[in-house]
Every structure is written in structure tokens, then in C-alpha cells.
Amino acid sequence: MELVQRMQRHGTTIFTEISALAARHDAVNLGQGFPDTDGPSELIEAAKRAIDTGQNQYPPLSGRPELLAAVADHQRRWYGIDVDLSTEALVTVGATEAIAATILAFCSPGDEVVMFEPYYDSYAAMVDLAGATRRTVVLRFPDFAVDEAALRAAFSARTKLVLLNSPHNPTGKVFTDAELALIARLAREHDAWVVTDEVYEHLAFARPHCPIATLPGMAERTLTISSAGKTFSATGWKVGWVTGPAAAVAAVRTVKQFLTFGVGGPFQLAAAAALCLPDDYFTAFRDRLRGKRDLLVDGLAGAGFDVAVPEGTYFVVADAAPLGVTDASAFARELPARIGVAAIPVQVFHDDPDAAPSLLRFAFCKRDEVLREGVRRLARL
């Protein structure tokens, strides 16, 4: 049987492909973004306790009340956003399912989704699965600034959603207040909704994260997505959530119930415990990652790359053009065998195959000694 036409360009994700190459060549894997240390003990112990005390059957469709309450508390504590936990929040299988269910809930063929390139890969796949059309705005190395005219031109009478991701994967960009205000203004003008992926909300290094839902007139047209994976270094657990106006969350829930129904109960209880950790946990985590960023940025610059210093996330984008690279996709596929380091070509996050021909994304969410070894190997280039 043949894969449906609209998914044929998606094949196997770049993360799977590059992680397999990294494993084959025993490379330092700075490709797929996952930490190599465990998250807080409160998280791990809460999951074990939940399993040991028999919390192992179907959780409620919308999520365990403990996690819904923790998400609502978190939004109030960090951003002053009020979330009614019984109607305005939904727990999902990671941010990935939240993105999928949201796009599938609202987009039909003919609808347009405004999004920024480079984009996180699942956005494009889900827009294609929904049969909708991408209208992309390119963020260009090294500052990845939003071009107002290009953004304006991407909107039309068919715009249904704007897909935003700040802090942004893969660039590490944190959208500025002016950029957020512009996006909000255009969304309001076109009566579009904003779906904002804030999984790196606690990894904004330069200034505090600003959810677009807090801008005037935006709470009523924004769905905010986050997940426990990044903040608590548990990317394999896949506990995410979406918050926003009750009717929109109910629509997402209608789709979500037939994708997976519920989400691993013990992991929900663990994420709830972790979200309630004191502020110090979150700020210390951010500061630790900032130090790792600096280590890798310096190493890449020392190896001859042009580096865009990221303001957030797990990732740094570096230009290999000064090293003579003209095809980052081919280069990334050679790199594990050649020097024992894995990275992701940024090209795969673009619609235009000629965009970002020499850019690579490196992850710095690794132990310092692993980063140092990666830097040592990169210096061989």
C-alpha cells in the first residue's frame, strides 16, 4: 500500500536519521536535542511512586487533575495568565501531539497557516496532513529577524492560524517584543488565531520569555503549547499540554481523543510535581544551559564556523561556509564518520531547498565533558 500523497515528502525525520548515523560511528551526538543527564529527582521519584501505588490505568481524557492544576498554577506564577483548569487546559502526548491535534482541529484544505522558516519539522508535516497550505516567512542567519513586509505579505483572507515558536528551534531566536506585537497585530487584523509552541519557555537566556497570549487582545485567539520534556530534561516522557479559550481547547480535545485518548498517568503526576518546583530550579536550569551554550559557541567559533549566538533553546546555528561547505545536508551526513560529531542541517527545516545551504544546528544540552570532546573533534575540520 502506498503512503498518502500529501505525506510522501516527509520520509524519516532528520533526527532519526542523524541519531542512527551518530550511533553507527560512535559520534558525539549534537544532532537530536535531548539531554544526556536526568532531570530533577522530584520528577523521577514522583513517577516511581505513581507506578508503585497503582496509578496505572487510563487517566481522564483531559489529563490528571493534579497536572491540570499544576499547569494552571505555572501559567499564573510565571506569566500572570489565568487558566480555568477544568475547561481551558488539555494534557497531550508531548507538545508533538498538541501541535498535531491543534492543526488537525482547525485546518481544512484551502486554509493557510502562516509560519516561520526554518520551522520545527512536525509543523510542516501536520499542515500537509491537514491538507492546508503553508505561507512561510524566512528568518535569515545570523540575526533571524522578522521582515515586516514579508510577514504582512504572508497573511491573506485565507489565513487560519499563525504558528509561532519562541524561543525558536532550530535558530535559538527569542522573538522580540516588537516582533510579537507585530504578529499579534496582524493576527487580529486578519481574525486569525495564534498557536504558540513554548516548549523552551524556561530556556530564554537574555530576557524573560513573553507568551504572546499576554499581549492585548491575544488571550482570546491564542492556543499555547508547552511540555515537560525540555524544562525537566525528560524528552522521552512525552507529556505536554495546551491552554487557551475553552471552546478551542474543546475542539483540540475532540481530535486528541482519537489520536491517543490519554497520556501516561504516572508521567503526568511526575510532571505535576516538577512544575511545582520552586523558582530556583527553573533559573538554575536556565543558567546551566547558558553556560553550555557559551562552551559550544566558543568551540564552534574556534573551529572556524560563523556562529549566531542563540538567545534561547538547546540549540546553536553555525555557518560552515568559512570552512568551504556549500552543501550542509551532505556535510552533516559525512560528519559522524569523518570527525565523530553529529549535527543537523538547517536546510531540512525549510521549504526552499536552496535556503540555508551551509548552516548546521548543534545541540548543547549535553554534559560539559561531552561538549568539550565534541569541540575537540570539531577543531579537526
CA distance 225 to 93: 11
Question: Which range, of 52-60, 94-102, 187-195, 285-293, touches ligand PMP by CB under 6 A?
Answer: 94-102
| Residue owning grid cell 533526527 | 15
Residue 32 binds what, of ligand GLN, ligand PMP, none (CB under 5 to 8 Å, by partner type)? ligand GLN
Per-residue mark of binding to ligand PMP, 212-231 (x: CB under 6 A)? ---------------x-x--
Residue 63 binds what, of ligand GLN, ligand PMP, none (CB under 5 to 8 Å, by partner type)? none
| Residue owning grid cell 572556524 | 304
Is residue 92 a contact residue for ligand GLN (CB under 6 A)?
A: no
Is residue 94 a contact residue for ligand PMP (CB under 6 A)?
A: yes
Using alpha carbons, select from 252, 199, 203 the residue that is nearest to residue 223: 252
Q: Which is nearer to ligand PMP, 172 or 229 (CB)?
A: 229
Per-residue mark of binding to ligand PMP, 12-51 (x: CB under 6 A)? ---------------------x------------------
With CB under 6 A as the rule, give the number of residues binding ligand PMP.
Answer: 14
CB of residue 264 to ligand PMP, shortest distance in Å: 12
CB of residue 268 to ligand PMP, shortest distance in Å: 13
Identified binder of ligand GLN from the candidate list 169, 196, 227, 347, rule CB under 6 A: 169
Residue 197 binds what, of ligand PMP, ligand GLN, none (CB under 5 to 8 Å, by partner type)? ligand PMP
Is residue 235 a contact residue for ligand PMP (CB under 6 A)?
A: yes
Is residue 35 a contact residue for ligand GLN (CB under 6 A)?
A: no
Is residue 196 a contact residue for ligand PMP (CB under 6 A)?
A: no
Is residue 169 a contact residue for ligand PMP (CB under 6 A)?
A: yes
Is residue 15 a contact residue for ligand GLN (CB under 6 A)?
A: yes
Sequence-separated (6 or more) residues with CB below 8 Å from residue 111: 130, 132, 133, 158, 160, 161
Q: How far is CA 230 from CA 28, 30, 169, 328, in A?
A: 20, 15, 12, 26
CA distance 305 to 238: 34
Q: Are strands 359-363 and 344-345 parallel, antiparallel or unpaired?
A: antiparallel
CB of residue 239 to ligand GLN, shortest distance in Å: 14
Is residue 249 a contact residue for ligand PMP (CB under 6 A)?
A: no
Instruction: Assess contact for 272 and 67: CB atoms under 8 A.
Output: yes
Q: Which is nearer to ligand GLN, 169 or 243 (CB)?
A: 169
DSSP per residue, 302-321: HTT-EEE--SBSSEEEEE-G
Is residue 32 a contact residue for ligand GLN (CB under 6 A)?
A: yes
Is residue 13 a contact residue for ligand GLN (CB under 6 A)?
A: yes
Is residue 95 a contact residue for ligand PMP (CB under 6 A)?
A: yes
Which burial class, exposed, middle or buried, applies to 381 when counting CB atoms under 10 A from its CB (0-12, 13-18, 19+)?
Answer: middle
Identified binder of ligand PMP from the candidate list 88, 112, 197, 319, rule CB under 6 A: 197
Using alpha carbons, select from 267, 275, 256 the residue that is nearest to residue 96: 256
CA distance 365 to 286: 11
Q: How many CA atoms lie within 13 Å of 160's alpha carbon, on the beta-carbon side?
A: 18
Is residue 198 a contact residue for ligand PMP (CB under 6 A)?
A: no
Tell me if the bond preceding 170 is cis, omega within 30° of 0.
Answer: yes
Residue 75 binds what, of ligand GLN, ligand PMP, none (CB under 5 to 8 Å, by partner type)? none
| Residue owning grid cell 551551509 | 358
Is residue 243 a contact residue for ligand PMP (CB under 6 A)?
A: no
Q: How far is CA 16 from CA 21, 156, 259, in A?
A: 9, 35, 22
CB of residue 169 to ligand GLN, shortest distance in Å: 5
- Cβ burial 351-365 (10 Å sphere, 16+ → b, else e): eeeebbbbbbbbbbb
Torsion of CA 51, 53, 57, 60, to 10 degrees: -100
**Residues within the interface to ligand GLN (CB under 6 A):** 13, 15, 32-33, 169
**Residues within the interface to ligand PMP (CB under 6 A):** 33, 94-96, 120, 165, 169, 197, 199, 227, 229, 235, 238, 240
